[in-house]
Amino acid sequence: MDGSKSETLALVPPAALGRLMPMFLWVSVTGHVREAGPTLLKLCEGRPLLGCGFLDVFEITRPRPVASVTELEMLAGRRLHLRLRDAPDTAFRGLAVPLATGQGVIVNLSLGIGLAAAVSQHALTDADFAATDLAVELLYLQEAKSAVMEELHGMNLRLAHARTAAEEKARTDPLTGLANRRELDAALARAAAGAGNGGTPFALVHIDLDFFKAVNDSLGHAAGDEVLMQVSQILREETRKSDVVARVGGDEFVLILRSTTDPDGVQALSRRAIDRMEEPIQFEDQFCRISASVGVTVSSLYAAPDPDQMLLDADLALYASKRRGRACCTVFTPGMEVPEDRRAPG
């Protein structure tokens, strides 16, 4: 009865066997491939398989190399590790089952841990696997994992961009796009600490627009906003990337200059900026006319630069420019007279 069963199994049509085991091989006693499953034929597309020597196409690496069908039969029931001898050298897992005497061996293959790579490389779909094959579920899990990881990656990128945008917004003046007072204070603290420790010196420049109130009063706040944006553009163009340009009040600006720290160089930069600001600024069919007063101090004047003191001294130099008739730049010097309206009560 056992022999009868073996003969019956051998009579299963190859097409039906291919549906049950899409990656099977029927190897004859002579070692040649008699039949192969459709998925295996797809994987070997472009190279002959049927009629070829099984061991000419495949190499068994574990549990040990084999050189004949007889040796293959001796590994029946043991897990086999195989690979295609020619590129692409796709790896397989397999199991060999001897058939009735004279009929050879059935070898059923799977892709093992190389499933995802093989699916991508050979454009496999779920139709290339048996309906009961766990590879289909693994394939879906892999796709689901990839989709989830991609979504998480995208979400992390969006969160990082949102955080960066929020941090940038917190440091930026909304009208002009310049640094705001918060960012200026942080940058000035860093610059002062660096200069105090023997690092790069810097100049602190305080600018107040002259006649800006008249623009707002006569032409409205929209005209004033246009003036502020034009002034901001001038300051950007007159400074370098290493400098800090901040709007700290309605019509007040502060610069931290690392590129120009010599008082004469700072005065020259201020003169250029003032000359450009005094050019008429068109708003609709009107022209706005302003100027600017500038006060400057430099970190080299201080043994240990203090941000608050430097701001006070730059402000003092600014008011000296106002008293001199505006539209000019004054550099702070130790001992500079404090105007009466800015003296603390005695």
Which residues have a catalytic role annotated? 251
- Residue 303 phi/psi, 5-degree rounding, is -65, -40
Rounded distance between C-alpha atoms, residue 110 and residue 93, angstroms = 5
Please give the full DSSP string across 205-271, using - where no structure is assigned.
EEEEEESHHHHHHHH-HHHHHHHHHHHHHHHHHHS-TTSEEEE-SSSEEEEEESS--SHHHHHHHHH
Rounded distance between C-alpha atoms, residue 262 and residue 268, angstroms = 10
Token pair of 165, please? 């945008």
In terms of Cα–Cα distance, which of 32, 23, 204 is closest to 115?
23
CA angle 187/161/148 to nearest 5° reads 150
**Please, which residues have CB within 8 angstroms of residue 339's CB and are 6 or more apart in sequence?**
319, 323
**Residues forming a β-bridge with 245:** 255
**Please, which residues have CB within 8 angstroms of residue 165's CB and are 6 or more apart in sequence?**
none
Rounded distance between C-alpha atoms, residue 250 and residue 59, angstroms = 80
3-class DSSP state of 345? coil
